[in-house]
Amino acid sequence: MTTQQLFKRLSLAQELSGGGCSSSAWTHTTQAGVMESHNPATGMPLARVYGCSDEDYDAMVTSLQQTHRSWRTVPAPKRGEVIRLIGKALREEKDALGSLISLEVGKIKAEGDGEVQEMIDMADFAVGLSRMLYGHTMHSERPEHRMYEQWHPLGVMGVITAFNFPVAVWAWNAFIAAVAGNTVLWKPSPKAPLCALAIQHLCNRVMEDAGYPGVFGLFTTDRVELAERMVGDERLPLISFTGSVPVGRHVAEVVGRRLGRSLLELSGNNAIIVDETADLDLATRAIVFGAVGTAGQRCTSTRRLIVQESQYEKLIPRLLSAYEQVTIGDPLQPHVMMGPLIDGEAVARYRSTLDVARKAGGEVLCGGRVLSRPGYFVEPTIVRAQNHWEIVQQETFAPILYVMTYRTLDEAIQMQNAVPQGLSSALFTTHLRHGEAFLSTAGSDCGIANINIGTSGAEIGGAFGGEKSTGGGREAGSDSWKAYMRRQTTTINWGTELPLAQGITFGRAEGGTHGASR
């Protein structure tokens, strides 16, 4: 399928004639700037997308508020049925959407298709969830009273996504938020506007056919001031942000000042520990996928490898051999295992990071070069390093793996935890006690802890997110739906008396006291 055919199938034109802002109908703003989407495998432009104006943004939020008033009254299972229809449409367009992701952000085709499958899985999860938005019932201390809690939607949810997962992270938030009765405003990364436009076209069509237009809204912009306005907008009770720690910290501060809610998915500095009992073939495959997949541009990418010193000389040759077999090139070609970085800035960070690592005393065991070809290609790199080095303490969005050794498991766990980030972690072991120690209270301090699988590739059913400077957010599974709803405790008096809690009486009562209950 040619690029032109792909765009036509996904309702995209090579030069958008109107604004990139929609809830059910598209705006026609052309004076708010233009974003140019590039193919990172060639460096060449793919299309130009008009940005949204301040007026577009205001109209969008107002429209989503109005839609929310009716959408929240639709029974949750009916809302789930609409999300099922979106999942069905995604299945029909999986190949085309996966190709678009590869084209615009450089993921290999298998990963592009996998991201669409993640959206499909998320839709299935949300459909089931629409019948399980449970609240607890509680026994009242007062006779002829019933207590329970229920959950209500918040309103218009703001979702800000990053380029590396241009559509899946939106689905994590949007599908759950929608079955919970919310409407959703999406600001995608300006590095991946075409993926967002394609999804919005699909949602518009499905929602219109189902009789519920305007539940999902999109606005594209590369203007910081408009994004800042979204974060500070009191009409958006929750902002879900995926990105860097500095920006996430700012989002939390701005949203916190207005007493809103923020759901943060920030940086990772994920480690795999390989102990003396580990299956090295299994570990090698996981390490390579975790460090090389998406060219190291996942928040869950494996960035540190902590190897028991007796295993180092056995494991490193296996890794070097595996890295030699990594094919780098056009991500749409079936034999390619690693595509490009997203842009020239990412390549510059790759270079500068390796320069700093070398100056600190790091030994480059393989890779380390920027490839001389069109696009933004680099070699996957392994560096012998020390965990405490400042550069190792930072997240670099590139295929750079730092390797170091340890003696005892306690030492390895301390090394793993001794970074600011706390997203994903893994231990390869066949030792039961080692595995349990890693998962114990004194073990991994990350939001995700795995045994004998890598740091990447989280499943939909488990809540995704991390601790410390990763932000503490949870999305995509378990009871993460509660983030998009407000809890209400309800007490019903079905008797004829008015007893107060804590045995308090109010007014004159023989043998009683004067006071007030909470």
Catalytic residues, by residue number, are 265, 299
How far is CA 122 from each of CA 134, 169, 344, 461, rounded to the nearest angstrom?
A: 19, 10, 33, 9
Contacts of 217 (CB under 8 A, 6+ apart): 21, 22, 23, 60, 63, 64, 183, 184, 185, 186
What would the two tokens of residue 127 be? Answer: 């459909």
Exposed (0-12), middle (13-18) or buried (19+): which is 72, by Cβ within 10 Å? middle
SS3 for 409-471 is HHHHHHHHHCCCEECEEEEECCCHHHHHHHHCCCCCCCCEEEECCCCCCCCCCCCECCEECCC
Determine which helix (DSSP H) or strand (DSSP E) holds 27, and give its type and residue range: none
Pairing verdict, β 238-242 and 156-160:
parallel
Give the Cα separation of 156 and 69 in Å (integer). 10
In the three-class reduction of DSSP (H, G, I as helix; E, B as strand; rest coil), residue 69 is classed as helix
What would the two tokens of residue 454 be? Answer: 């890598």
Phi, psi (degrees; rounded to nearest 5) at 233: -80, 115
Start-to-end CA span in the chain (Å): 67
- DSSP for 360-423, please give it: HT-EEEE---B-SSSS--B--EEEE--TTSTTTTS--SSSEEEEEEESSHHHHHHHHHSSSEES
In the three-class reduction of DSSP (H, G, I as helix; E, B as strand; rest coil), residue 347 is classed as helix
